[in-house]
Amino acid sequence: MTERIRVLVADDQALLRGTFRLLVDSAPDLVAIGEARTGAEAVDVARRGDPDVVLMDIRMPELDGIEATRLICAASPGTRVLILTMFDLDSYVFGALRAGASGFLLKDTPPEDLLSGIRTVAAGEGLLTPRMTGRLIAEFARHAHPTAAVPRTLDGLTTREREVLTLVARGLSNAEIAGHLHLSPATVKSHVGHLFTKLAARDRAQLVIAAYESGLVAADRR
Burial string for 66-76 (b: 16+ CB within 10 Å, else e) reads bbbbbbbbeee
| DSSP element (H, E) containing 101 | none
Q: What is the CATH number of the domain that holds 162?
A: 3.40.50.2300
Q: Are residues 114 and 33 in the same domain?
A: yes
> Cα separation of 203 and 174, whole Å?
13
Q: What residue type is 175 in one-letter code?
A: A
> Does 130 score more than 80 pLDDT?
no
Residues 153-187, buried b or exposed e (16+ Cβ, 10 A)?
ebeebeeebbbbbebbbbbbebeebbeebebeeee
- 98 and 15 in a common domain: yes
222 within domain boundaries: no
| pLDDT greater than 90 at residue 17 | yes
Which of the residue ranges 4-8, 17-21, 42-46, 197-201 would you say has the lowest mean pLDDT?
Answer: 197-201
**Span 136-175, pLDDT tens digits:** 655 655 555 444 444 546 888 999 999 999 998 877 888 8
- pTM of the predicted model as reported, rounded to 2 decimal places: 0.74
Laid out side by side, the sheet with 103-106 consists of 30-36, 5-10, 53-57, 80-85, 103-106
Percent of the chain surpassing pLDDT 70: 82
Q: What is the tens place of the pLDDT at every residue in 47-58?
A: 999 999 999 998
**Statement to judge: residues 100 and 146 lie in one domain:** no
Q: Which of 127, 154, 189 is the last residue of a domain?
A: 127
Are residue 73 and residue 122 in the same domain, yes or no?
yes
What pLDDT does 133 receive?
A: 59
